Amino acid sequence: MRAYLRERPLAAFDRGRLALLRAEAHRVLAGNWREGSLADGTPYGFTCPAPPRYRHQWYWDSCFHAIVWRHFQPARAREELRTLMRGGRLDGFIPHTIFWHDDAGWRRAPFYATHSLRGDRGTAHIQTPLLALAWELVAAHSPDEPGFATEALDGLRLHYDWLGRHRDPDGDGLISIIHPDESGLDDSPKYDAVFGWMSHYLPGYFWLVERSRRLRYDSRAIIARYDEHVEDVIVNVFYALALRSLARLTGDESYRDRAIRTERALIELCWDDERGLFWDLAGSDHTPLRVSTWSSLAPLALPSLPEPIARTLIEEHLLHPRRYRAPYGIPSVSMEEPSFHAGWHLFRCWRGPSWINTSWLLVPALRRFGYESDADRIVASCIRLVERHGFREYYNPLNGEGLAARRFGWSTLLIDLLGGADGAGQTPSDGPFVGSLREELRSMGAEAAGEAARRLNRRAAAAAAAARRLRSG
Ligand code: GLC
């Protein structure tokens, strides 16, 4: 299957160090594992992204978790994906967030796109739909349960048919998102021009949710009535990858044809030959959102991408020292963009920091096109990040600082980049944690204080430089 499965030990890291990393990843996933059953007996088992800040089940996080779990305990990988399916509706819709064991709580409720402010089991909006891709990867690691590959095909078909029917009203092969966080890239600067005062990090986001609620989250009605919707590149890249997986799982070529249609539409409609990047398209007139983010590079993961386009993306952007070639990981926004912000911010996290899922998606493409040493360099920098700071939610790409939530589930994707893990089926040793709210607040406070101090330092350095210039001039 795809390059994600490759075994490629990094020469500079001895086996002992990598084994420690794997053990720690296993410990993070095990510490975040939640299982139980609802009052009606429905069982659930999933990995929450990072307690206590993220206590629920998130769609794309769960897919990433399952992809890593399959190296350690494939039974948990399967349970995570089955639970995600179980959280969906009979018509094929699967929520962005599912509240299994814990209500969203009144403080959080307004942030979640639910039908009512209380009492919903899940949100009414979607997240980047990679379930079939994760299903296929997990099935390939399930020799103990070969039936897993086919047990949910009806549900998977329904899911991807729902997406095609409800999210592609103009029929161009690209599905749309109606809220910025549906991609998972909540506050990415690429959405500023579309959502403006209703952006994810601004108070107007409440209105965006509220107006969807008033239309009962009928996406076709919302797209027809409002122009704030996006045919998002990264969402469609994962959609196409998942459709290809579904075609292989079902043997139904119509899903392959749909994947090809989406891939062609990405090239015909989103590719900008002059800038050498893919742009999201906003609104009914397909206005390109010309902000360079890792989403613009995401089509590198498509097996069908023409080589000249891939080389442009890699050489002119991914490996360009002023754009994405940072000391640590791959920044989520090109360092050249005025909106690039490397450090921590309470409400903004996709405006520059390096996330591990970015490397997970893009590094295999670097290898596929022969940029092995660059791929090794990026993976090695991610290893250093995790060795120094643990599996954090994201990292500063310039100085390598670990930021935001600790023991963040999908950062363990690094293990998948190393080619998996030894010791499948073992139980990890007990970890010292299940984070408390106080601990989390303390770490957020420390991050905020650190960021303020750095800002002061920068200002003091700028003032000193100005004074020097005055003296010498
Ligand atoms: C943040 C991220 C989103 C993720 C969620 C749970 O909101 O932006 O992508 O799914 O946290 O980890």
Three-state secondary structure call for residue 377: helix
Q: Tokens in use for 319? A: 């490996």
How far is the centre of ligand 1, averaged over its atoms, from the C-alpha of 181 (Å)? 8
Which mutation among 54, 205, 346 tests ligand 1's pocket best, with the greatest number of atoms within 8 A of CB?
54
Report the amino acid identity of residue 354: S
Residue 240 to residue 132: CA distance in whole angstroms: 10
State the distance from the centre of ligand 1 to the C-alpha of 184, rounded, in angstroms. Answer: 6
Which residue ranges have their beta carbon within 6 Å of ligand 1? Answer: 49, 54, 58, 60-61, 184, 186, 349
> From atom 4 of ligand 1, which residue's Cα is the shortest distance away?
184
Q: pLDDT value at position 429?
A: 41
In this prediction, residue 445 carries a pLDDT of 67
How far is the centre of ligand 1, averaged over its atoms, from the C-alpha of 306 (Å)?
Answer: 31
In three-state secondary structure terms, 443 is helix
- Which residue from 294, 292, 300 is spatially nearest to 266, judged by alpha carbons? 300
Consecutive sets of 10 residues in the chain, 473 residues long: mean pLDDT of each?
45 81 97 96 97 94 98 98 97 96 67 78 95 98 97 98 98 98 98 97 94 96 98 98 98 98 98 98 98 98 98 98 98 98 92 98 97 96 97 98 97 92 43 40 63 72 80 74
Contact 166, 159 (CB under 8 A): no
The kind and range of the H/E element at 176 are strand 176-177
Q: Please give the distance, rounded to the nearest whole angstrom, from the Cα atom of residue 234 to the centre of ligand 1.
A: 15
Q: Which atom of ligand 1 is nearest to the CA of 187?
A: 8
Taking CA atoms, 231 is separated from 116, 182, 334, in Å, by 27, 11, 20
Cα 11 to averaged position of ligand 1 atoms, centre (Å): 33
Residue 230 β-bridge partners: 177, 282
Q: Which atom of ligand 1 is nearest to the CA of 410?
A: 12
CA neighbor of 286 nearest in space, from 333, 227, 235: 227
**How many whole angstroms separate alpha carbon 254 and alpha carbon 256?**
5
- Residue 350 CA: nearest ligand 1 atom is 8
Which numbered atom of ligand 1 lies nearest the CA of 127? 10
Residue type, position 12, single letter: A
Half-sphere exposure of 462 (CA within 13 A, CB side): 6
Ligand 1: distance of its center to the CA of 137 in Å? Answer: 22
- Ligand 1 atom with the smallest distance to the CA of 59 is 10
Residue nearest to ligand 1 atom 1, measured at CA: 184
CA of 59 to the centre of ligand 1 (A): 9
Beta bridge partners, 150, equal none
Closest CA to 129 of 92, 183, 89: 183
Instruction: Indicate the residue type of 284.
Output: S
Closest residue by Cα to atom 9, ligand 1, is 184
By the 8 A CB rule, do 354 and 397 touch? Answer: yes
- Ligand 1 centre and the CA of 349: distance in Å? 9
State the Cα–Cα distance between residues 300 and 302, nearest whole angstrom: 5
